[in-house]
């Protein structure tokens, strides 16, 4: 999947894998860690977005997350 320009720029700057707690900071609060956790608990996210480190720490796989985020975005001119 080709990412939109904004997410391509994030892809260039984000590490390939990062701690979920860093999501708010890395996205400029554009996507909140708490929101992603809620979506995960509802079974709305693909499993390949997450890796587990130890028993509690969740890591985010950058490319899988960005593809998921893009599927949720619409153009600001889209009023549907």
* Residue 11 near residue 68 (C-beta atoms within 8 A): no
pLDDT at 79 over 90: no
| Strands, E assignment, the chain | 17-19, 50-53, 57-61
As a whole number of angstroms, the distance between CA 57 and CA 67 comes to 22
Average model confidence (pLDDT) across the chain: 90
Task: Convert the pLDDT of each residue in 24-51 to its tens digit.
Answer: 999 999 999 999 999 999 999 999 999 9
pTM, two decimals, is: 0.86
DSSP assignment letter at 70 = H
What's the CA gap between 80 and 34, in Å, rounded?
A: 26
């Amino acid at each position: 999947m080709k990412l939109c320009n904004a997410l391509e720029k994030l892809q260039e700057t984000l590490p390939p894998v990062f701690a979920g707690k860093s999501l708010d900071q890395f996205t400029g609060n554009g996507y909140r860690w708490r929101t992603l956790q809620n979506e995960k608990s509802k079974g709305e996210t693909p499993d390949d977005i997450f890796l587990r480190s130890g028993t509690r720490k969740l890591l985010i796989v950058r490319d899988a997350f960005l593809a998921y985020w893009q599927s949720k975005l619409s153009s600001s001119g889209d009023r549907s």
